[in-house]
Structures are given as C-alpha cells and as structure tokens.
Amino acid sequence: MSTPPATSGLVRCEVRNAVATITLNRPESLNALNREMRDALAALLTWCGENSDTVRAVVLAGAGRAFCAGQDLREEEEPQSAVSSIEGKRRGDFQALLAGQPQPTIAALHGYVIGRGLEVALTCDLRIAAEDARLGLPEVALGMIPASGGTQRLPRLIGEARALHLVLTAERVDAATALEWGLVTRVVAAAELADALQAMGERLAAHAPLALRYARRAIQEGAGLSLMDGLHLEAALAGVLRTTHDRAEGPRAFREKRPPRFIGA
C-alpha cells in the first residue's frame, strides 16, 4: 500500500488495521472548511479509493472542540454568475468523492456539527456522535440555503417534516434528539468516541468489501425505485456477487469454523 499524499497539515490521515481516519485539523477555527482543506480532503479520499484493497473503511473526524463548524465564511470568494455556481456544484468536489467512496464511510461527530459540517456528515454512510455534539443548519439565518446536499439528503434520512424544522428554524439539536430522529446511528460518551469509531471501522473492514459496496448500492439506489424495481436491483446485485471469490469464501469459512479471508474480488 502506498502512503497517503502529503497535505499542509490542515487535514491528517492515519491508517490502522485497514481503517483510514481522516481528521480535520484546524481546531482554532472549529475546523471550518477552507479551500485548502477541501482540496486536501479530495486528495486523501481519492487516495483511499485507489487503495481499497487495503483501506477497507474510512472515518472522518475533527480535532479540537468540533467536528466541523461549516464552510469558512471568512474566506473571500469572487462573485460568481448563476451559471458558474450551478456548474461548479455539478462538477462537485470532495463530497462527490465521499459519496462515491468504494469503502463504507463513518462520521465521528462531536462538539459543533454545523452547516456544511453537517452536510458532510450526511454524505457518510454512518454517523456516530459524542454526547456533546450539537447539530444544525443555520444557512437561512445567513440568507443562504444548505446547498451542499442538506436540502436533499436530510429529508431522505429523517423525513420531510423534521428536515423542514431543522432547515427553516436554523435550530441546533443535541445528540439525544439526533439519535431519536435518526440523524445519527449511535451516541457514545465523548471520551469513548475515538475508540468506538476505530472499533466500528474494524468491524466493517472485516466484512467482504464487494458485499458492503453492493449492499450500500441496493439501499441507496433502491430508495428511489418502486418496490418491484428495487427487488430486481437487489436480485441483480446478489447475482453478480455469486460470481465472486468472497461469496464462496464466506460460507466456506463458516463451514470450516474459521475467520473468512476476503480479498475484495
């Protein structure tokens, strides 16, 4: 496996037991995302995708008191025409890479998870929160809308009514409420967050990579289909898996009472 690409230090990457932990490292600004960080995230996610044979799960975390307090609004940008803005969104950036990662992705949420920080978390497959996490989308209070996936991913995850409440009121919710609403999948004590994320990453890394990838695809793509079409998609993906080494290895290892040796093929 190659080593992760060098970055300026505003984003770090460590790989342990097949789990790549990518950490936003701008704690003095509550990890608000600037251009340099976004470019570094794109480079690191690309590297993870290219090394999916050895990197089996990806964790996104934040250093200091926050996961991410959103986009860095102090970063001056040249005014864009409507066409340029829309085309830029269509081309995507690191979030498009995150959404398409071959590995399962987990967001480690603590402290402030605000604005684009929450939108990045919504792009991950799983979200585990510390008890001190506070989540919100304040954009309308600033004359904006959550335009990095917030208006689309949030209602698909927690339903239209609760999504409208979060977006229109710009309120923040605590970790307990986020768990109740399905915004996060687990809440742990702040001191246990790093260990919980590593354990979850290793659990995912132990599973068959193609099975994980196809299961995610069946759920995510099937959500926009009729039940019958979704069942057809599920059957097609299961059929493709039956041709793989790992599909034969899983039952074989079960019969032989040993851990499976999945190779992602």
By annotation, the residues acting in catalysis are 119, 139
Chain CA centroid to CA 239, Å: 27
In angstroms, the CA 33 to CA 146 distance is: 15
| DSSP category for residue 71 | B
- Whether the Cβ atoms of residue 67 and residue 113 lie closer than 8 Å to each other: yes
β-bridge pairing 105-109 and 57-62: parallel
Chain CA centroid to CA 26, Å: 19
| DSSP category for residue 138 | -
Chain CA centroid to CA 87, Å: 23
In angstroms, the CA 19 to CA 167 distance is: 33
- Whether the Cβ atoms of residue 128 and residue 106 lie closer than 8 Å to each other: yes
How much of the chain is helix, strand and coil, in % rounded to 5? Answer: 50, 15, 35
